[in-house]
Amino acid sequence: MAKEYNLKRADFIFRNENDWENILSRTLDKDSRELINELISSELKGRGGAGFPTGLKWKLTSEAEVAQKYVICNADEGEPGTFKDREILMKVPFKVLTAMAICGYITGATKGFIYLRGEYKFLQPDLQKVIDEFAYYCKEIGFDFSIEIFMGSGAYICGEETALMESMEGFRGEPRNKPPFPTNKGYMGMPTVINNVETLAHTYTIFKHGAKKFYDLGVQFSRGTKLFSVSGDTPKPGIYELELGMSLSDFVDEFGDGDTKAVQVGGASGFLVPRKRFGETSIGYKGKLTGISLPTGGSMMLFNSTRSMFNVLDNYLEFFREESCGQCTPCRVGCQQLHMGIKAVKQGQKPAVYLDKLLKLTETMQYTAKCGLGQSVANSFSSIVENFREEMIY
C-alpha cells in the first residue's frame, strides 16, 4: 500500500550551526572509504535537477588514479523560478565550503571552484571573505585544499556542467558530448566532481548527523529533504525545506491561493501540472507513490485562473530561444519554430492542428538535441499545450 504523505517541513539547511571547524576536522580523521559508504547509504541524489546519486559521483572520481582532480560547486542557478542556492551561499556558506573540502579529501582533489552566477556578483565580496577565513583554518590544520570563485557571465547554458567547464577553460560556453563524463574527464580534462550548492549543503548534514537521519526522511527513491523556491500566485512566496515525496495537492493546499489552476514543477524546463492531476502527482525522483513522480531542481511556480497559459508558454519559449547556445540544429531551429508556431496559431495565421505538428517537433528535439536544454523544451511545451489547448488557439 502506498504510504500517505502530508507536507513535512524541515530545518537542516538554514540552521546556522557554528560547528563547521569541528565537523571538518572530525570528518578528516575518518577513513575516506567509510565516508563514501556513509554518503552512498544516505541515497542523496543531486539537487541541481538531474538527480544523479551523489555518493556514486564522488566514488567514481575517487577511483581515478591521477595527480590532479577538481571539485566544482555549481552556483549558476539559472533555471527560471529558482532562488534557493543564492540564499544558501548568503546564509550558510561555511556548510558549502566544508562539504567541498570533505569532497576533496574523499576524492583526492586539492582545488575547488565556486562557479557563481553572473547576476550574483553582489555576493562575491562576502563570499570571498568567508573563503579567506576558511583557507586560514585549512592551513592551520595542515589540510591542503583551496577554493576560488569563478564568475559566470549570465548565460543559462553555462549551468550545464560541461558548458560550465568549457567557459571556465576560456572557451564559448557550449556543452560537450557525453561520455566522457566529468567524473572521468572534467575541468582541464581531469576527473571532476560537480555538484549543485544545495547538494553540497545536504552532504554537510549527512556528515554531521549521519546518513540514517537523512535516509529516514522522504520516501523510497527520494530520500531526505529538498529546498523549494515557491513563486507565482501564492500568498507565501519564499524558500521552504520540505521532505521529498509530498503530493502536489498537499503542496497546493499549503501554498496555493485557493484558485490554483496549474503548477509548473522544475522551472521552464520542467512540467506543468493541471489541477485535475494534483492528487496523483508527487515530487521526487523516481519512486511512484500514487502515480506520476516529478523531479525538480526546486522551482515551483503556481498559476491561478487569471493567468493565460499561452503567455506562460510564450515566455518560456522566448527564454529557450534566447538561451539556446545554437550548437545543434534541433534546438537552435526548433526553439524558433516552436515560438513562431504558437504565435501563428494564436493569431489565427495557422490552424489549431498545427499544434500537433509542433508537438511532433518537440519529440524530435527530445531525441536529437545534444544537451538537456534542447531535450527538455518538450516538457513544458507538451504539458501546457496538451492540458490547455483551448488557451493556445485563436
Ligand X SMILES: Cc1cc2nc3c(=O)[nH]c(=O)nc-3n(C[C@H](O)[C@H](O)[C@H](O)COP(=O)(O)O)c2cc1C
Please check whether residue 109 is in contact with residue 103, taking contact to mean a CB–CB distance below 8 angstroms. yes
Please check whether residue 267 is in contact with residue 80, taking contact to mean a CB–CB distance below 8 angstroms. yes
Long-range contacts of 88-91 (CB under 8 A, 24+ apart): 88/13, 88/14, 88/197, 88/198, 88/201, 88/227, 89/114, 89/116, 89/120, 89/123, 89/127, 89/197, 90/123, 90/126, 91/14, 91/16
Residue 57's region, left for phi above 0, alpha for psi from -120 to 50, else beta, is: alpha
Backbone angles phi, psi at 163, to 5 degrees: -65, -40
The residue range among 17-25, 35-43, 196-204, 323-331 that interacts with ligand SF4, by the rule CB under 6 A, is: 323-331
Least Å distance, CB 48 to ligand X, is 3
Least Å distance, CB 322 to ligand SF4, is 11
| Binding test (CB under 6 A) with ligand X, winner from 89, 371, 377, 378 | 371
Neighbours of 267 (CB within 10 A): 24
62 binds, among ligand X, ligand SF4, none (CB under 5 to 8 A by kind): none
Nearer to ligand X, 77 or 233 (CB): 77
Indicate whether 250 belongs to the interface with ligand X (CB under 6 A): no
Please check whether residue 40 is in contact with residue 57, taking contact to mean a CB–CB distance below 8 angstroms. no
| Binding test (CB under 6 A) with ligand SF4, winner from 49, 274, 341, 374 | 374
| Binding test (CB under 6 A) with ligand SF4, winner from 165, 342, 371, 385 | 371
Least Å distance, CB 178 to ligand SF4, is 11
Nearer to ligand X, 197 or 252 (CB): 197
Indicate whether 157 belongs to the interface with ligand X (CB under 6 A): yes
- Which positions touch ligand X (CB under 6 A)? 46-50, 52, 74, 76-79, 156-157, 159-161, 194-196, 199, 371-373
Residues that bind ligand SF4 (CB under 6 A): 157, 175, 324-328, 331-332, 369-371, 373-374
